[in-house]
Amino acid sequence: MTGKGRRPRTLPFGDKTRIALRRYLRVRAQHPHATDDNPALWLGKRGRMTSSGIQQMLERRAEQAGIGHIHPHQLRHFFAHNWLANGGQEQDLMMLAGWRSRQMLGRYARATAETRAKDAHRKARLGDQL
């Protein structure tokens, strides 16, 4: 994938995502707009989905899941928080997110830093009790 600034970005994903993408690609292949000259991954009723169409679809799915309003960019914040909360390395997160500066890491991690600090403290206290 090419990210912001036309820089290549690695997008690792797990087995569940691989299975879901393969299933989607099989269905996509039957879409009337799935032609060799249309490389778009996400197709809608009239062809390539726009960013607005993707956002609308995401909002519908979030509502169906009982999540409420969500903006696609929130997923990057959620990913960064979970990566760090589960012991992921900051340098690896920067590579995966396509960030060149630690400033971006700080911007994304700041919003949930207090939650991660409280969780780490709670885990440390539980470890002391064992």
pLDDT at 129: 65
How confident is the model over 60-90, as pLDDT tens digits? 999 999 988 888 888 888 889 889 888 899 9
Dist. CA 79–CA 105, nearest whole Å:
12
Whether the predicted pLDDT of 21 surpasses 90 = yes
What per-residue confidence (pLDDT) applies to 26? 95
Q: Give the pLDDT confidence score for residue 130 in this predicted structure.
A: 58
Contact 109, 79 (CB under 8 A): no
More confident of the two residues 71 and 16: 16
pLDDT tens for each residue of 85-122: 888 999 999 988 888 889 988 888 777 777 777 877 88
C-alpha 88/C-alpha 15 separation (Å) is 19
Choice among 1-5, 8-12, 27-31, 102-106 with the minimum mean pLDDT: 1-5
The pTM of the full predicted model, rounded to 2 decimals, is 0.69
How confident is the model over 27-39, as pLDDT tens digits?
999 999 998 888 8
